[in-house]
Structure 1
Amino acid sequence: MRRRLIMLTRKELKLNAKEQLRNNWGVAIGVIITLSLIGALIGYIFRGYQDVTSILTVESVVIAIVTAPLNLGVAILFLNIANKREAKYGDLFSGFNKILKVVGITILVDIIVFIGFILFIIPGIILSFRYSQVYYILAENPDIGIVECLKESGKIMKGRKWDYFVLSLSFILWYILMIFTFGIAGLYVIPYYQATITNFYLQIKE
């Protein structure tokens, strides 16, 4: 008989995240500030565009090329934190070593989720949850194929989409606090959330 996986509670996942971040807040906050500056720079570059179609087309390509590797770098960084390995600021940019693959994965996921939203909102949301673990999977399996990466995310998220949704929803008050503090609270909230989600991945991949 297949043994049922014993899942940690949301509270336990969050406690683990706080403990793992104890000696890594400096690098985590530095990464969040860097990502915010990069996002602001991209927004500034495209603010002068008047043609909406051009903005969406060109900006989406730039975002995919720039942010996809950074998202992979974030996954690598927080996996190092969760696994008690040395976490370095440079981890953020390590995703550029797999730029073609990670951009391909990102574009494919975006297309699939976009089609889901066109069909109906709920399928789009479900698909976004289904493929939410692709960066972690690629981070741990750099030689995996693009399609195989998506399949593996779908496999480990089977029966776990609701858990993922509820876990993410449990941070809603923190995100409201970010709004009232004009994003400043994000220096604490975003690393806390990311570390918690990383622990969630480490559980379900088993």
Structure 2
Amino acid sequence: MKRTSAQLKQMAKDRLIGNYGMCIALSIIVSVISSAVMFVCEFATGIYRYPMTATPYIMYFVLVIILSLLISVFSAGLTYYYMNLCRGRKADIGNLLFAFKHHPDKFILVSLLLFLLTFLCLVPGYAIMFIWLFTRTGSDLLMAFLVIVLLIVGVVIDYILMLMFSQPFYILLDDPTKGVIQSMKESAQLMRGNKGRYFYILLSFIGWMLLGALSFGIGMLWVSAYLSATQVYFYMDITGELDRPASPVVDVRPEPQQYIY
């Protein structure tokens, strides 16, 4: 049975009661690691030094991509935490390292493939734009129109592909022995007929994200937890897990007062 976005979001809210403290703590840890990586990239490449040259920016771009792929392993660990939480299993800070212990290369490769898909979708638009800027061939109005159309088409195609391949992390976390291509294929199969529903769920969080942004980003810590839990329940819904008899696991959710904010 396909559940509505409202039903999935309500399940997420119910599960997060008493668990927001740990969710926020883990989000902060991943954010701090990401910020530290960006600082290292900026410091190592010296992009703010004068005189400014193209080489540091190229090095910075390459370094950011490489380290971002490594951070994706932490992101997979955070997803694993939410999967355990939503299933009523033991969920703690140790979950962040799960992907590092179970074929981290697969999560890196999935992230790399998704990056390449986005890159390929946007290449035509940016290629025409750079050719136009450096050669100034053709009508400015026509070239500008062509660039805008190509970029819009590229973004739309990219978003459809991201919806189609939105589930590999969940699939690999459930079964790390599966291959990267296999997880991508299974994601495409699971999302067949569900892309519109998933897009609607993501769209329904825009209001919450705006409110989170208005709070100088602090509110996004709660919104991020809410969205992540909803995404896990969506995965459990499309795989049929929510319709199967519940496994006899003990809900080990800790009491709120155990957390240090």
Please say if residues 213 and 220 of structure 2, whose CA atoms lie closer than 8 Å, have aligned partners that are also in contact: no
SS at match of 2:42: coil
* Aligned residue among 163, 175, 195 for 1:141: 175
Does residue 167 (structure 1) correspond to residue 201 (structure 2)? The answer is: yes
Does residue 123 (structure 1) correspond to residue 157 (structure 2)? The answer is: yes
CA distance in 1 between counterparts of 2:122 and 2:185 reads 20
CA distance in 1 between counterparts of 2:203 and 2:235 reads 16
2:12: which partner in 1? 17
One-letter amino acid of the structure 2 residue matched with residue 107 of structure 1: L
Deviations 1:3-45 (A, max 9, x none): xxx2111111111001111132222111111011112111211
* Aligned residue among 101, 104, 118 for 1:99: 104
1:3: which partner in 2? none
Q: What aligned pairs does 1:13-162 form with structure 2 within 5 A after superposition?
A: 13-48=8-43, 49=45, 50=47, 51-65=56-70, 67-97=71-101, 98-118=103-123, 120-162=154-196
Higher relative contact order (CA 8 A, sep 6+): 2
- For residue 113 of structure 1, report the CA deviation from its aligned partner: 3.0
Please say if residues 117 and 125 of structure 1, whose CA atoms lie closer than 8 Å, have aligned partners that are also in contact: no
- For residue 114 of structure 1, report the CA deviation from its aligned partner: 2.2
CA distance in 2 between counterparts of 1:46 and 1:110 reads 19
Identity within the alignment, %:
28
Structure 2 regions of 5+ residues with no counterpart?
Answer: 48-55, 125-153, 241-261
Shifted more, 111-120 versus 157-166: the winner is 111-120
Please say if residues 69 and 103 of structure 1, whose CA atoms lie closer than 8 Å, have aligned partners that are also in contact: yes
TM-score under structure 1 length normalisation: 0.92
TM-score under structure 2 length normalisation: 0.73
Structure 1 regions of 5+ residues with no counterpart?
Answer: 1-5
Q: What aligned pairs does 1:157-196 form with structure 2 within 5 A after superposition?
A: 157-196=191-230
Larger Rg over CA atoms: 2
